[in-house]
Structure 1
Amino acid sequence: MNTVCQEMDVPLIRFDKDDLLRVQTPHEDPLVISLIVSNCLSKRVLVDPGNNANIINKVAFEQLIVEPKQVKPTGNPLVGFDGKRVEPIRIVELPVYAARRNLKENFVIVDEHLSQPPDGKRTNSSIYSEESDALQKKSIALQASSKEASNIKELVNLCLMTDKDKLKYSIFLCFNDVRLLPKEVLTEILSRLPAKSLLRFRCVSKSWLSLITSPNFIAIHLNQSHTNNSHLLIKYYSLNPKKERFSLRVDDNDKSFFELKCPFKTRNNSFFRMVGICNGLICLSDDHFGYTYTIIIWNPAIRKCVNLPKPRVCFHTYGPYMFALGFGFDSRTNDYKVVRIAYLQHRMGSWDTSAGVESLLFGGGEGYIFPPEVEVFALKTGSWKTIEANVPPYNMVEYFWSSAFVNGTIHWLVYGKWEGSNQNHRGTIIGFDVGGEVFCELNLPKKLADDNPLNLAIAVFGDTLSVFQYDKRVKIEHCSVWVMKQYGVVESWSKQFNVDLHGGALGGALGFRRNGKILLARRNGKVISYDPDNRGSKSLGICGGTDSIYVGTYAESLALLDGVNAASGGAKVDSCDMVDSEEEPVSNGPDKDALEKHSFTHLLFSSVFLRQ
């Protein structure tokens, strides 16, 4: 690339003595740069001051969009570093864009793979070339008149015809000047690309960086992702080896999947509770055993996360308590929020009757104080705030609680004693409006309300609220799926279908697929896809601890890419490194005894229950 360097009228890059630290001299270190060659981004271009020819590998050349007339024969051999003579295949004149200048350079095409592939086998590059041949010809024909609106539209459609990111970007760069593209066309093209490609394209120019990181573009990209690229996320804790895994799968294709790398670990090296998934963000909490305060909002697509600060209500200041979490999106302010409801327990097991017996909930041997403490964390503020909310007077099942975000509201199953009821408990649903930050109540149908709260689990069915109803919590034989078809209307609750769990062979229902099938967990931890129409099942090749498995819909997004306005007081967004769980330090004394008692009984109950 000597000629390119000589023709670029740019300031010289100078090196001083500090750059020679830890460098053994004399040296002849090469320089590797990135250039746009023939409208394609070449990431690794070796600049060798002792080389007199511009060389391009055959595999790289086959991926370029080149007119046949640009390729010419050549008879001059090349001599390699080892003295070996190499006969070039052809010589080609290619446009090179560097330092804001368009240049034309001759490149010698060589084939580093001297041996031919076995008969009947094709290299990836030849397959790629055959797939893209028709698209290459069409894109070349558009280059001469790319300013015309009709050709711009055709080129946009051409970009969207292929799933190959490299080819898509190459076709896109067929314009003589990308700046000729209308902003709405540029936005339309970029919004269809995966997050991984967009992260690279931020480096193209300042205008592209500003566009890709803008809240408006992030919202447009998310909408495209929800429409075209929604996947099924299955989280589980594998027992051999002991590791938490996140399996991302095409919802209607069990053979197409890959694993998201989880950069976090819990306090006891087990698994996180999945609080929820919303717009490509995953909320995790390390709260299964004991008092910990590690809550993480994670975007695996862009490898960014937010570690929430310690909430106000903790054991050190309030003593024993139980709590539940929820995660959702506030469309009014374009903000993500985590809500934490903490039910304080009477310290040392004594009843505080000064507030009256009515102020105590019956859920727990020692009772919880009502109303609970409610805190809300917002990404845009980066802090917790306490709200004085009118929380309906119900209790949640400790440890086994779950939440569902539907219609801008986070929902939990709760239970309480009702006046005039013969039942020891009666179930219902409470909701937290993420935008208005107020609580509401949604009644269950009588068959669900009168059931044991341990036999119910809340879920999301498409865009509607759903409840799984088991005949019993352990050794399950039967499961019914209820759906609220019209949000907020009690009469719209309907039993969608029944699931035969084959005499307790299965551990419970996990979630739904777009094709109507249900994902179930066997008691041995294997995940299967169950068809309620023909009662057939198919294994997904996943096996983990039954309590660790979570199923949800995941759509890739750029959320957290804009930094959430950290400079103006928002949450700090970090790159995903290993994050350890934070445990509450406890000093010696009565508080320590109460914590040990609470943690031990909690762990014992959960362990025995899960092994039944």
Structure 2
Amino acid sequence: MASQSHAATIQNIPHEVITEILARLPAKCLIRFRCVCKSWRSLISDPQFLKKQLHFSHAESNFTRQRIIVFKQGLPSSDHRIASSYSVHSVFNDHEMPCSFDVPLPMTDPASIIEFVGSCNGLVCLREGRILHLWNPSTRESKRLPRSIGYNDYFGFGYDESVDDYKVVRLLNNEGDTCKVEVYELRADCWRETQNFPYSLNRFAGTWSTVYANGALYWVVVREHGPEGTRWNVVAFDLSTEKFTEVPQPNYFDDDSCSLLAGHGMSVSDLNFVIELVVERGSLCLVCHYIQCCVGSHAGVWIMREDGVWTKLAKIPYQQEMKQSQQFWRLLCFSGNGEFLMARKDKLALYSTKEDAFEDLPIHGGGDELLLHDSILNKIKTYVESLISPNYAMNESEQSKNLVMA
């Protein structure tokens, strides 16, 4: 009788109310709730519901849907086919990284190395040698993209809202001052050529990841090398128009830096810096690493507002003079109260603007050996939980078969 009464109660709740309630739940719960009844399974599989749930995941303010993933390739005594997932919420609230769960990688060769291409709306694009995969760590679904790729190619991954489709952009070696560009569309499941990238790959700052924000992919390219140091451009590729544009950059030589330089009888040309792009909650952020300069090695962090204007968030001092890019504190994400999660070669740390200090971050679980390895910079990334399928063009019944209980 109790179960019948409970079922009757659920049936009396308006469909719109059930939709609003379920859309606010995390992906892991929704995967389980697909088994409650046929109507819930149909609802949770509906593309419009998935978009609504994703909207709430992006909008929540306490990082409960945002995760850190660690790829274990090259780490001592670890299974290369497994990645570990950690809660960003625990990082900023408990100042530690307890491993939430391990998840198998979509590898075809257990001995191969997985590289991170990009993430968008819960989907992660991975590179395995000459193969590209789209993968959802929350549902464990994956899709191998068609066509073999080159070892020297560069990639970006993002979402084109104008056609409701996900795209992978491939930059290929080409003669001259440009390089060939191909675009993969998930719905069509094929590649096609588009306009050339207006820079040669030998000027491409490939040590820094491509990022996706606000409907565009962003790259950092080398503009010139000279006696005054290296100069950089930020280039955007609009996924809707498929056009390249150069993005205005912030004022790297702010009043604080310039006044210190003037006090030493030097000019802005004495500042040597490297640019890194990061995306936090859908906003494009830029980190400028100042190295080997009289004002002290440090990082400046800017965020781009909706009107395209850069706002400086923080100045993060380094604990010692930096001379090589491997020593930089790479920014992973940051909270609204001035805490920045940073990674540098063999450790993770939180920098607090209020305390003006670094705090080493202990890791527990799947990636304990992480701090023993010589470099983690290319093995740790962030993503948001979602139920978006990498098999985006499949019908509902086919997608349902591929969902795995997380």
- 8 A Cα contact 2:229 2:269, kept in partner: no
The residue aligned with 1:481 is 300
**Alignment partner of 1:405 is 2:212:** yes
SS at match of 2:39: helix
SS at match of 2:138: coil
- Residues 178 and 532 of structure 1: CA distance in aligned 2, closer, same or farther (over 3 Å): closer
- 8 A Cα contact 2:153 2:173, kept in partner: yes
**Alignment partner of 1:182 is 2:14:** yes
The residue aligned with 1:431 is 236
Q: Report the Cα offset of residue 373 of structure 1.
A: 1.3
Measured in 2, the distance between the counterparts of 1:330 and 1:246 equals: 29
Measured in 1, the distance between the counterparts of 2:300 and 2:30 equals: 40
Q: Report the Cα offset of residue 498 of structure 1.
A: 2.1
Measured in 1, the distance between the counterparts of 2:108 and 2:338 equals: 34
- 8 A Cα contact 2:205 2:221, kept in partner: no
- Residues 446 and 191 of structure 1: CA distance in aligned 2, closer, same or farther (over 3 Å): closer
Residue 146 of structure 2: which of 297, 309, 313 is its match?
309
- 8 A Cα contact 1:415 1:426, kept in partner: yes
Structure 1 gap segments, 5+ residues each: 1-36, 40-94, 96-142, 144-173, 287-291, 316-320, 345-367, 577-612
Aligned amino acid, residue 413 of structure 1 = V
The residue aligned with 2:124 is 282
The residue aligned with 1:273 is 115
**Alignment partner of 1:296 is 2:146:** no
- Residues 564 and 297 of structure 1: CA distance in aligned 2, closer, same or farther (over 3 Å): same
**Alignment partner of 1:38 is 2:2:** yes
SS at match of 1:190: helix
The residue aligned with 1:499 is 316
Deviations 1:227-270 (A, max 9, x none): 33332314253733244533321432345551331324486846
Deviations 1:551-598 (A, max 9, x none): 32x33211018x423369x99x9678xxxxxxxxxxxxxxxxxxxxxx
Measured in 2, the distance between the counterparts of 1:268 and 1:198 equals: 31
Measured in 1, the distance between the counterparts of 2:28 and 2:376 equals: 32
Measured in 2, the distance between the counterparts of 1:177 and 1:235 equals: 43
Deviations 1:157-181 (A, max 9, x none): xxxxxxxxxxxxxxxxx35253332
Q: Report the Cα offset of residue 300 of structure 1.
A: 1.6
Measured in 1, the distance between the counterparts of 2:286 and 2:303 equals: 9
- Residues 424 and 268 of structure 1: CA distance in aligned 2, closer, same or farther (over 3 Å): farther
The residue aligned with 2:256 is none
- 8 A Cα contact 1:397 1:453, kept in partner: no
- Residues 221 and 268 of structure 1: CA distance in aligned 2, closer, same or farther (over 3 Å): closer
Q: Report the Cα offset of residue 400 of structure 1.
A: 0.8
The residue aligned with 1:565 is 393
- Residues 549 and 531 of structure 1: CA distance in aligned 2, closer, same or farther (over 3 Å): farther
Within-5 A mapping of 1:152-301: 174=6, 176=8, 178-228=10-60, 229-237=64-72, 239-243=75-79, 245-251=83-89, 252-253=92-93, 254-255=95-96, 257-265=99-107, 269=111, 271-286=113-128, 292-301=129-138
SS at match of 2:152: strand
The residue aligned with 2:223 is 416
Q: Report the Cα offset of residue 297 of structure 1.
A: 1.2
TM-score, structure 2 length as denominator? Answer: 0.76
Q: Report the Cα offset of residue 483 of structure 1.
A: 1.5
Deviations 1:297-339 (A, max 9, x none): 111211211111115xx55xxxxx8322111111222221111
- 8 A Cα contact 1:298 1:306, kept in partner: yes
SS at match of 1:337: strand
Q: Report the Cα offset of residue 500 of structure 1.
A: 2.0
- 8 A Cα contact 1:343 1:372, kept in partner: yes
The residue aligned with 2:188 is 381
Residue 288 of structure 2: which of 462, 469, 486 is its match?
469
Q: Report the Cα offset of residue 206 of structure 1.
A: 3.4
Aligned amino acid, residue 308 of structure 1 = L
Aligned amino acid, residue 283 of structure 1 = C
Deviations 1:208-228 (A, max 9, x none): 332211111111111222233
- 8 A Cα contact 1:425 1:450, kept in partner: no
SS at match of 2:124: strand
The residue aligned with 2:278 is 459
The residue aligned with 2:257 is none
SS at match of 1:340: strand
- Residues 392 and 487 of structure 1: CA distance in aligned 2, closer, same or farther (over 3 Å): farther
SS at match of 2:208: coil
- 8 A Cα contact 1:479 1:501, kept in partner: yes
Aligned amino acid, residue 23 of structure 2 = S
Q: Identity rate of aligned residues, in percent?
A: 28
Larger Rg: 1
- Residues 462 and 338 of structure 1: CA distance in aligned 2, closer, same or farther (over 3 Å): same
- Residues 198 and 247 of structure 1: CA distance in aligned 2, closer, same or farther (over 3 Å): closer
**Alignment partner of 1:555 is 2:397:** no
More strand by percentage:
2
- Residues 266 and 199 of structure 1: CA distance in aligned 2, closer, same or farther (over 3 Å): closer
Aligned amino acid, residue 485 of structure 1 = M
Measured in 1, the distance between the counterparts of 2:285 and 2:270 equals: 16
The residue aligned with 1:594 is none
Aligned amino acid, residue 282 of structure 1 = V
- 8 A Cα contact 1:243 1:270, kept in partner: no
Measured in 1, the distance between the counterparts of 2:317 and 2:40 equals: 54
Measured in 2, the distance between the counterparts of 1:267 and 1:400 equals: 25
TM-score, structure 1 length as denominator? Answer: 0.52
Aligned amino acid, residue 221 of structure 1 = Q
Residue 393 of structure 1: which of 184, 196, 199 is its match?
199
Measured in 1, the distance between the counterparts of 2:269 and 2:244 equals: 22
Measured in 2, the distance between the counterparts of 1:201 and 1:221 equals: 14
Aligned amino acid, residue 240 of structure 1 = P
Measured in 1, the distance between the counterparts of 2:52 and 2:310 equals: 34
Deviations 1:135-184 (A, max 9, x none): xxxxxxxx7xxxxxxxxxxxxxxxxxxxxxxxxxxxxxx35253332210
Q: Report the Cα offset of residue 271 of structure 1.
A: 4.4
Deviations 1:466-503 (A, max 9, x none): 22222349xxx7232232433574xx335432222211
- Residues 478 and 386 of structure 1: CA distance in aligned 2, closer, same or farther (over 3 Å): same
Using CA pairs under 8 Å that are at least 6 residues apart, name the structure with larger relative contact order, 1 or 2.
2
Q: Which runs of 4+ in 1 moved over 6 A?
A: 448-454
Residue 533 of structure 1: which of 343, 348, 354 is its match?
354
- 8 A Cα contact 2:276 2:286, kept in partner: yes
- Residues 391 and 239 of structure 1: CA distance in aligned 2, closer, same or farther (over 3 Å): closer
- 8 A Cα contact 2:252 2:288, kept in partner: no
- 8 A Cα contact 1:507 1:546, kept in partner: no
Within-5 A mapping of 1:597-608: none
SS at match of 2:338: coil
Measured in 1, the distance between the counterparts of 2:353 and 2:330 equals: 12
